[in-house]
Amino acid sequence: MRRVAQELGLSPMALYTYVPGKAELLDLMLDTLYAAMPRTTPADPGWRARAAAVADDNRALYAAHPWTAAVPTTRPPLGPGLMAKYEYELSALEGTGLDDVRLDAALTHLLGFVQTCARMAADERAAQQDSAMSDRQWWEANADLLARVLDPTRYPVATRVGTAAGQAQGGAYHADRAYEFGLPRILDGLAALIEPPTR
């Protein structure tokens, strides 16, 4: 609240004449971002392309405003921005044959994946900023410790897979790779509900 008041040139107490507290301020900020959020219309009219666009739009929102990924939204800001966002997102899966409850659950599952990736990306950036090292530099600086704990005799699978993944990603985790790998898997999972197998 102090920082917002300072940005607006107000005293912190003056801010409370506009909003009762931090929770309400966050709701207003989120709803404003939701209202202004780009809503992509993919060239491909299929549900997968529409759902991927929803995921990409949310990822872009989190990238532009990383703090939004950390705000709990189990009780979301009930405003026009949220309603417009929810309508857009549900419309991506409309007409797939999912009943209303499954449609909402499918959207929640998709958005949960995107939010998790965004939080991990924010953690990745924070770790780099706090340590003043890239992931690759951090792993190189800790190579001796890793060599002591990663015993290929006791942990053969962890050694093989961790080494391969670390070399490919430059560290234990790479937010972009996780998103690029995970989004098609999420859509494949939804396809099992939407597109029943033909015999």
For 53-85, write each residue's pLDDT tens digit. Answer: 999 999 999 999 999 998 888 777 788 999 999
- In sequence order, the 6+-apart residues with CB closer than 8 A to the CB of 183 are 52, 55, 113
Q: List Cα–Cα distances, 21 to 12, 70, 75, in angstroms.
A: 11, 18, 16
Given a contact cutoff of 8 angstroms between Cβ atoms, the answer to whether 68 and 62 are in contact is yes
- For residue 103, the model assigns a pLDDT of 96
Q: Is the pLDDT reported for residue 15 higher than 80?
A: no
> Which domains, from first to last, does the chain contain?
37-194 (1.10.357.10)
Q: Is the pLDDT reported for residue 150 higher than 90?
A: no
DSSP 8-state code for residue 71: S
Distance CA 111, CA 76 (A): 13
Given a contact cutoff of 8 angstroms between Cβ atoms, the answer to whether 106 and 99 are in contact is no
The one-letter code for the residue type at 84 is A
Distance CA 85, CA 32 (A): 11
